Structure 1
Amino acid sequence: MLKCFHLRTFLAKGLNICRCLSTAQPAADTPPPKAKKDHRVYMPKLAFERKVKTSARAMLDQELAAKGGITDLYNWQRAQTSRPSFELLDGPPYANGVAHVGHAINKILKDFIVKSRIALGYRVRFRSGWDCHGLPIELKISKTKQVTDPHEIRRFAREIAVSSMDSQMNSFKRWGISADWSDPYLTMDKKYVAEQLRAFAKLVEQKLVYRAEKPVYWSPSTRTALAESELEFNEEHKGFAAYIRFKMVNLMTEELKLNDLVKNKPYLFYALAFTTMPWTFPLNNAICINENAEYLAIRFDDTKSNPVVEMYVVAAEMFEKIKEKLDRPAQILARFSGKQLVGKFYLNGWCADVAHPIYHGDHVSTKSGTGVVHTAFAHGFEDFAIATKHGADVECYVDENGRFTRNMGHQLEGKSVLADGQEAVLKLMKKDVVHASKFVHSYPYDWRTKQPVIVRCSKQWFIDLSKVSQKAVDLIGDISVTGGDSDLSSSLINMVKSRPSWCISRQRAWGTPIPALIDQLDYEYTSPNFINRVADLIEEKGDDAWWNADVKELLQGELKDEFALPETDEVKKCTDIMDVWLDSGLAWLCARRGYEDAKDQKPADVVVEGIDQFRGWFQSMLLTSSAIQNSAPYKRIIVHGFCVDDNGKKMSKSLGNVVDPDTVTDGSLNGMPAVGADGLRLWVALAGAETSGESKIGRKVVEDIDNKIGAIRLSFRFLLGAASGYEGEKPKELRILDQYALRKTVSFANRCRQNYEQYKFRTVSNDSLQFIAHLSSQYIHHVRDRLYCDMPKSNSHMSAQFTMHRITEMLANSLSPILPHLSAEVLNHLPLLEEKKILRNELNYSEESLGVELDDELDAIMRDVIDYRASIHKLEGSKDPTSQKCLVLRLTDPSYSLMSRLQPSPVSFNSQLCELLGVSELRMDKLSDAEANHSDTDHTVEWAKTSRAYCNRCRKFTKSKEKDDEYCDRCREAFDKITQS
């Protein structure tokens, strides 16, 4: 049932894709049209709103998720067992707090992959996961509850993790994410933990796991060891820099050729060292120099009157910079090789009772500092390596709180090495402090507490990566690692190669236990059998079983004999837990437990995470998989970037620039438009896909997204309006303009398929916006006259309806992976569709599938037409409405013959060529041979005065001046038929 309106009532105000047919007034010599009346153009009634109200947005998205098959899409496609399989392995978000825009980028990008692979005909596996263990949850507990018992901490932590997971899952569903929501993997789940421990047993079996006293990054604020991936660098850290001297005891003047020997004065040699951690000076164990470098003995001019000649040993390369930094003129008294220093001894001013050695160190640079490196075995990685090389004892006198222990004496005991302890050291050692100043520099911080860390020797568990790293590097060669068009495999290679060991132990309660026993001498006992025993116990009794069990229960059967342990009351359970990166790093194994093909597990097809995961999940997955199964856990890595505000600034609560994804989808009181789940998804596609750089979001960005998705919506509204009332008839003849639009749409759909195959979601989105604009200017702009004013059920009218119906279907299906809610809404309004749910059919269109034949000369015709349009655009006065003018088109013979197919008569008012060129009257003629020979084109165009009058219905100059009728012949016939029906 068709309802007819005045033409203007349909057109959206400001709708750039379908402006009014012509709102221009007739030429001055033409009588004005009669007063407004109902001219009864063809116009169906539309239920598809041009804009969704903010108050209705969330409810509409929810309804469309159900009606459009978004909610049950994942389960539906899993039931399609004949399809080839594809797996996206989820890097689990942390189960702490609510979902933020960083989650939106990550999860929506993953959903683009899930939905596009379904569209490409795959059966996709995507089991969403959550990383549940770790320090942030424990810190949250400590803010509200005073608990120290591990059982209580774990109980509260579990509650927080479950609550956060539920909240985040609801947000993910709100965004239209398709996943296995009924069975997510949780790193705190007893089955996951048990499987993780069995994998750990395999690492122990390969002798890759060991416990040792080694320097690690230590967080005093959380009292635990940290991995490098848990650090962030504060470029504005405020500390102290100091030059301090160490008195040398056996460097003799006779060994050096002094330039200015002062008679009758004793000599003292000092090694001058520089550090940005002065708190380590009392803990000094050695000095390192570079034996291959040249060193100097220098004297500062301001010490010449001293009774003792004080000479300072520094690297020759740093002499000028040292003078400049200290602002003290100095002279060189001797030059000598670093080899002459190796084996010498010196005294530490803190404790002058023991002489310490000078060693060569490959790590010593003469490009910075002084070329003399103060070495504290317990507080530096190179320092510890020197101790190991020379068999020196390593003792740590800094406790887990980052405070000096009683071994340092009452003057330093209990003082924080990063605060009052540092100042105390400078004061107590002032006689040997040559220069000290406040210093701002880059320094590692605990990424969770945002507090500085230290390097501290402690007993920790490690995985020996020296036996695994090269294998992992070799495997990277077969992995695609991309961020946009950039190959980022070198980033992963560099991360893997630079790690000789992985500290996997943490001194907390909320995590996966390290199954081991510790005796009174602090010696550890563990084995694959013991670990597997604990795994079975946890799978049977829950993840608290380790904390609940006593040693006797754990040592049943042959295990006690295996360890040859003393009495069980002399051993205790290890209280360390595993690094959370080991938890999630085994997801390639633990998260797939129970899959129907788990016994024949292949690498995941793709993983998608932020660029920071090169030092985190990408690496931990690769290393564990390389060690345990000698293969990569994934075939492809896709990297994305991070969110910043619309001014490019990092988001911060203190700056007030944090964007809540709920305000993007549902609007806010400060005027942020509600763009719905699809608006958020379009932002991710345009700003977060195909890049590892920053993704801007803020009010301006969201308003731009609102405009873009609004234009897409209005385009669909026009197309649905055109297709509404269509009853499925095929036109006897498809007009050239319609054929052209169909060919372009098929080409667009195929480009979408190709780009989906290559994970180019930004390209798909930009191409879609450009295609819709092209569809507007090259098709809708020209076809609307025929659609509104031709007689319903005529071949020309059915041709337009058929075309727009097919375009709508192809366009909606092509956009379904990016904009599933809008696509579902469109498909539910489109008549005659057997399948109203999205992505139930493979995205695979061809011209043959259209059900109509396209003209063999279509491309040639449209190539010429586009040339003619360009020439018309260049004509003087071409900006005036073409409905007031007649176009004279003169063509060479081949073109004339081709265009005659579209306009058989030399003069026409309603030919296909008139429609294609958007004119009221077209006079077509041949160029003479002489004209053609002297022209550089195959056509000419010019304006002429029209011979017709203004038609009040179609608003074109197509009415015969000789007839006393307000309508042209076409409009009169159509009007009469409509009024009679």
Structure 2
Amino acid sequence: MCADTPEYKDTLNLPNTDFPMRAGLPKREPEWLERWESIGIYDRLRERAASAASTEDARKPFTLHDGPPYANGHLHIGHALNKTIKDMIVRSHQMMGFDARYIPGWDCHGLPIEWKIEEQYRKKGKNKDEVEVIDFRQECRRFAEGWVDVQRDEFKRLGVTGNWPAPYLTMDFHAERVIAEEFQKFLMNGTLYQGSKPVMWSPVEKTALAEAEVEYHDKESFTVWVKFRVSNVDFPDLTLAGEETEAEEGRAVMAAEEQVAHDLIGAHVVIWTTTPWTLPSNKAVVFGRDISYGLYEVTGAPEECWAAPGDRFLLADNLAADVFKRARLNEDQYARVRSVSADLLAGLTLLHPLAGAEGANGEWDAPRDFRAADFVTDTEGTGFVHCAPSHGMEEYELYRDLNMLDRVITYNVLDDGSFRPDLPFFGGSYILSRKGGEGDANKKIIDKLASVGGLLARGKIKHSYPHSWRSKAPVIFRNTPQWFAAIDREVGDGQDQYGKTIRQRALTSIDQLVHWTPKTGRNRLYSMIEDRPDWVLSRQRAWGVPLTCFTKKGALPTDPAFLLRDEAVNTRILEAFEAEGADAWYKNGAKERFLGTDHNPDDWDQVFDILDVWFDSGSTHAFVLRDREDGTEDGIADVYMEGTDQHRGWFHSSMLQACGTLGRAPYRNVVTHGFTLDEKGNKMSKSLGNTIAPDQVVKQYGADILRLWVAQTDYTADQRIGPEILKGVADGYRRLRNTMRFLLGALSHFEESDRVAPAEMPELERYILHRLAELDHVVRRGYAAFDFQGVFQQLFNFATVELSAFYFDIRKDALYCDGDTQRRRAARTVMDLLFHRLTTWLAPVLVFTMEEVWLERFPGEESSVHLTDIPETPADWLDEPLAAKWAKVRQARRVVTAALEIQRSDKVIGASLEAAPVVHIRDKEMLAALTSINFDDICITSGMSLTGDPQPAEAFRLPEIDGVGVVFEKAEGEKCQRCWKILPDVGTHAHPATCARCNAALT
């Protein structure tokens, strides 16, 4: 530029914004939280919906029912994922025109909290059993209250919106009243019963557990091959071939029977078990009717073997070799004597290996039942299964169906996992130690069996085994009296639209009433409910809602009068719970108070078991959706959303509970997310040091980066997170922030008078409007389908590729250098439309950043993007022919920009404005499209020659775009000192060293 050339920089329309590139989210996000709280955004949205309820602008309610987290610790990354997805569901539906309500809730009862209080007692040397139950329960309540407050603040810090001042708590008095009321419906509709059957039992916690309270870990167990002696053979009818006389036939039968008796009496049926502690409770052995069995004789044995030459064993043929290998016998040390049919097996009488043992006092002398059972296989073990129906569900069901439970149920194991004191040899020994490790029972039993010759082999096995997810200790199956909800008994409530039983209603609901995201959720829950046993409702603990019922003294559980069913009694209980909470059940004189004058308290026992906490959370639909003003009209939620483990947890219990009281599922949609893993795909563990705490991410990056990670991941599968992944998320965030900053700068001082109608816009702007219309459909469909990854990927690519790298790049020249032209006003109009859509489309994800962007343009005490809906997009913005044309334009542009990049890399030019390439186009339709627009502006060059002539050999090409070749030429002329284009007319206008366009802008 010459010394006397004017400085044109100040004449440009440069972007103007105070929006910083550095977000500073950790520091600034709490300020926006305070602002939202001060203006009461959540309440204002509800008030707005209420005021429009009777107008044509009425908003349809949309309710996501919160699966309650447990109030007993700081949040982990799974909590953050869960609550963020929920928040995005609620916010996106709100901005799509719904009245989207979210009532956060907490699970407050049950063993985890009770366990924490007991730990505190143990540290102080305090005995829980010496504390009044109400005092203990009050300590549990205070513990839960403290963690509710902590977790509430942690959830709010993540930007989660909702009715935080009035959440639901399962320990609120009204909630406890409704939980009791829901239980009473089972009492009154005939599905409640008391039974004694094997349930998963935690000896450490001394309570029954539900499947949802159990997790599976590898455990090393003792395994033994045990001998049951054949003491007698009751022969079936034997059919002999041939035409012998009756006498001959009789002699043949007798001879055959004598031979069989000789072969089998004294032989041993061998069983295999990984739970030696169940052997003292053995009552039977079962076999498979379709399995091939043989009688095997030992012909030689080493000294260390528990078998001796001449010993005979009954085994499944497929498993015999493996069993003898375990017994340390080689193939030449045993032989198969004969086949043994299932009919013949059925005639055998077996004795327990401890039968007749000195000091056993006849405990095991009775013959064992021996019969066929469907669950026996010959894939592992011996082909025979030892049965202790008190400790195994399959065995229990077998003898239940045979009406033989009274002959096979034992009560050898106490609630702490020890054997009853008077059990010979083993009384007082423990299956597990007090801390959940191996107790002394298994060793004592194995040693005793060895001493009486009852073992063939022993070993150890590592296998997947159920553990309590709270104490992390192994559980056992133990027969105890428990309260159950019968899921195959007809529910006497008349709500039979979807089935007469709880199971029928649940399976029908799954298939007909619920939409599943992902679809696999349907199969998972369906198979679980299809195969599940009756629901164990009772727990032997103190902190929770009691089973509010009374039983008749002296009556059997099968007696119709066993349970007191009296609506007046129920009402008195519910009124007390509403006023005093469930503690009312434990107060002095409670039984007399609730029974009133209609029933003699001496005739009734008060039940003090507490309800399974899954019944609590499964009942939340009643006291949240049904009873609250911000609930739903029909008591049904639009969405339940939790982790995949809740198919056996909250989704499951809510389904069963509601099917027992409402007659159907309490939800219309079930959305499921996977588990969070570290960057290598490993499960997070404190011991491995690979955990990522939400508060750490928030302190380093801000909550919006954590939310962006959630939006970028496929939450329906397991997700990974770690330092490198978060760095990548932060980089993507910066690119998106840069796009929004450009928009803000370009829209400085934009006013309505600047607006241009779409029909008057250049094609490029109308093409961007077309893309906005397409994206509007994508965003709305995606948000409605809870597909946040799909929505964000589309928006991110649009913002960073189609806008920043294409549209903004092209229109910078017009925005900065044009005067008050139609083109510049059209561009700013489109950018205003882009602003309103991008901010509202992205607000459910980047709640803090989009608020910052919004307030930068629309400041004010009452202003907030979260009080705004996604704008409706006119259908006539869609223009498929124009989009097809511009697809060709963009293809040609890619070839030109790639050709110029080579010249830039080779230092031939410093910028694309120094070029005026010749572009050869083979396709006539593409050539016509390019000649109808200013293609040099689109390619950001100072000139352009378009031709249909054949491409010369030196033309640059891209292999994926056929028919376009570029020959580089430098632009001719002088450089305009205002717009930097190189044009022949520069210097010929009134304003020195300017082109015609810039001269006009300055005039």
TM-score (norm 2): 0.84
21, 24, 30: which one aligns with 1:53: 24
Q: 1:700 to 1:72 in 2, by over 3 A?
A: farther
Match of 1:797 in 2: 824
Give the conservation status (yes or no) of the 8 Å contact 1:202–1:528: no
Q: For 1:834 and 1:140, how far apart are their aligned partners in 2?
A: 45
Deviation at 1:73, TM superposition (A): 5.8
Give the conservation status (yes or no) of the 8 Å contact 1:70–1:176: no
Deviation at 1:789, TM superposition (A): 2.5
Amino acid corresponding to residue 747 of structure 1 in structure 2 = E
What CA deviation, in whole Å up to 9, does each residue of 1:794-819 have, x standing for no partner?
Answer: 43333332222221121111111222
Give the conservation status (yes or no) of the 8 Å contact 1:734–1:799: yes
Q: For 2:637 and 2:578, how far apart are their aligned partners in 1?
A: 26
SS of the counterpart of 2:9? coil
Matched, 1:717 2:741: yes
Q: For 1:837 and 1:599, how far apart are their aligned partners in 2?
A: 27
Match of 2:64 in 1: 88
860, 863, 869: which one aligns with 2:893: 869
Matched, 1:554 2:593: yes
Amino acid corresponding to residue 687 of structure 2 in structure 1 = S
SS of the counterpart of 1:239? strand
What CA deviation, in whole Å up to 9, does each residue of 1:199-239 have, x standing for no partner?
Answer: 222211221111121111000110000111111111x2011
Match of 1:441 in 2: 463
SS of the counterpart of 1:194? helix
Q: 1:366 to 1:260 in 2, by over 3 A?
A: farther
Give the conservation status (yes or no) of the 8 Å contact 1:240–1:277: yes
Matched, 1:108 2:84: yes
Give the conservation status (yes or no) of the 8 Å contact 1:720–1:805: no
Q: 1:960 to 1:288 in 2, by over 3 A?
A: same
Structure 1, unmatched stretches of 5+, are: 1-30, 668-673, 903-911, 930-934
Matched, 1:321 2:322: yes
Amino acid corresponding to residue 191 of structure 1 in structure 2 = H
196, 205, 213: which one aligns with 1:213: 196
Q: 1:324 to 1:552 in 2, by over 3 A?
A: closer
Deviation at 1:380, TM superposition (A): 0.9
What CA deviation, in whole Å up to 9, does each residue of 1:343-402 have, x standing for no partner?
Answer: 532221224332222122221112221111111121111222233325243121111111
Matched, 1:39 2:9: yes
755, 760, 779: which one aligns with 1:730: 755
SS of the counterpart of 1:465? coil
Amino acid corresponding to residue 408 of structure 1 in structure 2 = L
Please list, as runs of the form range in 1=range in 2, the aligned pairs for 1:352-431 lying within 5 A after superposition: 352=356, 353-388=365-400, 389-391=402-404, 392-393=406-407, 394-409=409-424, 411-416=426-431, 418-430=438-450, 431=453
Q: 1:256 to 1:487 in 2, by over 3 A?
A: farther
Matched, 1:244 2:226: yes
What CA deviation, in whole Å up to 9, does each residue of 1:640-663 have, x standing for no partner?
Answer: 111111111111111112211111
Q: For 2:736 and 2:63, how far apart are their aligned partners in 1?
A: 31
Sequence identity percentage: 28
Q: For 1:549 and 1:703, how far apart are their aligned partners in 2?
A: 61
Give the conservation status (yes or no) of the 8 Å contact 1:68–1:828: no
Q: 1:466 to 1:263 in 2, by over 3 A?
A: closer
Amino acid corresponding to residue 704 of structure 2 in structure 1 = D
Deviation at 1:625, TM superposition (A): 1.8
What CA deviation, in whole Å up to 9, does each residue of 1:820-873 have, x standing for no partner?
Answer: 2211111112259998422444324324798xxx99974365234223213424
Q: 1:763 to 1:888 in 2, by over 3 A?
A: same
Match of 1:907 in 2: none
Matched, 1:885 2:915: yes
- Count the aligned residue pairs: 914
Amino acid corresponding to residue 370 of structure 1 in structure 2 = T
Q: 1:68 to 1:658 in 2, by over 3 A?
A: farther
Match of 2:361 in 1: none
Matched, 1:348 2:375: no
Amino acid corresponding to residue 480 of structure 2 in structure 1 = S
What CA deviation, in whole Å up to 9, does each residue of 1:467-487 have, x standing for no partner?
Answer: 321232122111345344x34
Match of 2:549 in 1: 516
Give the conservation status (yes or no) of the 8 Å contact 1:588–1:633: yes
Matched, 1:475 2:509: yes
Q: 1:214 to 1:259 in 2, by over 3 A?
A: closer
Give the conservation status (yes or no) of the 8 Å contact 2:16–2:746: no
Matched, 1:118 2:94: yes
Give the conservation status (yes or no) of the 8 Å contact 2:429–2:440: no
Higher mean alpha-carbon deviation, 961-970 vs 637-646, is at: 961-970
Match of 1:777 in 2: 805
Q: For 1:959 and 1:710, how far apart are their aligned partners in 2?
A: 40
Match of 2:565 in 1: 527
RMSD: 3.6
Give the conservation status (yes or no) of the 8 Å contact 1:77–1:118: no
Match of 1:909 in 2: none
Higher mean alpha-carbon deviation, 72-81 vs 746-755, is at: 72-81
Amino acid corresponding to residue 428 of structure 1 in structure 2 = K
Q: 1:865 to 1:94 in 2, by over 3 A?
A: same
Match of 1:150 in 2: 133
705, 708, 720: which one aligns with 2:732: 708
Match of 1:134 in 2: 110
SS of the counterpart of 1:93? coil
Q: 1:588 to 1:877 in 2, by over 3 A?
A: closer
Matched, 1:75 2:73: no
Please list, as runs of the form range in 1=range in 2, the aligned pairs for 1:659-808 lying within 5 A after superposition: 659-667=692-700, 674=701, 676-687=702-713, 689=715, 691=716, 693-728=717-752, 729-731=754-756, 733-774=760-801, 775-791=803-819, 793-808=820-835
SS of the counterpart of 2:512? coil
Give the conservation status (yes or no) of the 8 Å contact 2:92–2:844: yes
Amino acid corresponding to residue 243 of structure 1 in structure 2 = W
SS of the counterpart of 2:367? strand
Match of 2:155 in 1: 172
Match of 1:28 in 2: none
Q: For 1:636 and 1:493, how far apart are their aligned partners in 2?
A: 15
Give the conservation status (yes or no) of the 8 Å contact 1:67–1:837: no
Q: For 2:5 and 2:165, how far apart are their aligned partners in 1?
A: 64
Give the conservation status (yes or no) of the 8 Å contact 2:900–2:968: no
Give the conservation status (yes or no) of the 8 Å contact 2:390–2:396: yes
SS of the counterpart of 2:968? strand
Match of 1:19 in 2: none
Q: 1:125 to 1:257 in 2, by over 3 A?
A: farther
Q: For 1:961 and 1:628, how far apart are their aligned partners in 2?
A: 84
Deviation at 1:71, TM superposition (A): 5.1
Amino acid corresponding to residue 540 of structure 1 in structure 2 = A
Q: 1:488 to 1:883 in 2, by over 3 A?
A: same
Q: For 2:315 and 2:703, how far apart are their aligned partners in 1?
A: 64
Give the conservation status (yes or no) of the 8 Å contact 1:237–1:442: yes
SS of the counterpart of 2:865? coil
Match of 2:975 in 1: 950
Q: For 1:117 and 1:52, how far apart are their aligned partners in 2?
A: 27
Higher mean alpha-carbon deviation, 961-970 vs 913-922, is at: 961-970
Matched, 1:920 2:905: no
Give the conservation status (yes or no) of the 8 Å contact 2:915–2:941: yes
SS of the counterpart of 1:466? coil
Q: For 2:231 and 2:838, how far apart are their aligned partners in 1?
A: 84
Amino acid corresponding to residue 9 of structure 2 in structure 1 = H
SS of the counterpart of 2:23? coil
Matched, 1:601 2:634: yes
Give the conservation status (yes or no) of the 8 Å contact 1:204–1:528: no
Q: For 1:951 and 1:574, how far apart are their aligned partners in 2?
A: 93
Give the conservation status (yes or no) of the 8 Å contact 1:416–1:422: yes
Higher mean alpha-carbon deviation, 885-894 vs 915-924, is at: 885-894
What CA deviation, in whole Å up to 9, does each residue of 1:263-310 have, x standing for no partner?
Answer: 999962111000000111122111111233221111223259999832
